Amino acid sequence: MPVGKRLADARRAQGRQLPEIERETRIMRRMLDALEAERWDDLPAPVYVKGYIQNYATVLGLDATPLLEEYAQDIGQNSSLPQLADIPERTLVPHRLELHAIPRAVWIAVLAGVLVMVLLIWGISALFRDDELPPTPPTTTPSTSIDTSASPGVTETVEPPTTTE
């Protein structure tokens, strides 16, 4: 016996109406109607339908396991959804981060090229560089004047020591 028919028969046998089941299960009435009529296309994804069946069976006091197994058989034969075995292990469309990814070999080649250019420029600049340093200017010490008296305007000039060369 189909799942929807078994649920509807159990509900009628208990003398219950759909509005009462809707309140207890918190499943919309149109979903309950579709479930009892087995209009699988009017229902959401199978994972939700399994929850509906389990909740509906619990409210009616039925064991949900055989109903869920029968539902799995029903949708397995009539379902246009892909089965888990049909889904490829790796997606056919690359991930958005892989879409414009630059391969590692390209990065290494670019870095090696930059390094070669830097070394080449450094080598050429070393060939044309003048190794002579500019002459250092002679160091001379200017004469300084030191005020030795307390009276203003009188200064004494001190000559720096002379070096003999």
The pLDDT-based confidence of 2 (bands split at 50, 70, 90) is confident
Mean pLDDT of 9-30: 93
pTM of the model: 0.47
123 shares a domain with 68: no
114 shares a domain with 44: no
Establish if 23 belongs to a structural domain. yes
Lowest mean pLDDT among 40-49, 84-93, 125-134: 84-93
Split into its structural domains, the chain has a count of 2
120 shares a domain with 52: no
108 shares a domain with 74: no
Please give the residue range of the domain that contains residue 19: 3-81
- SS3 for the chain is CCHHHHHHHHHHHCCCCHHHHHHHHCCCHHHHHHHHHCCHHHCCCHHHHHHHHHHHHHHHCCCHHHHHHHHHHHHHHHCCCCCHHHCCCCCCCCCHHHHCCCCHHHHHHHHHHHHHHHHHHHHHHHHHCCCCCCCCCCCCCCCEEECCCCCCCCCEEECCCCCCC
74 shares a domain with 11: yes
Indicate whether 148 pLDDT > 60: no
Tell me the pLDDT tens digit for each residue of 84-103: 666 667 666 666 766 677 88
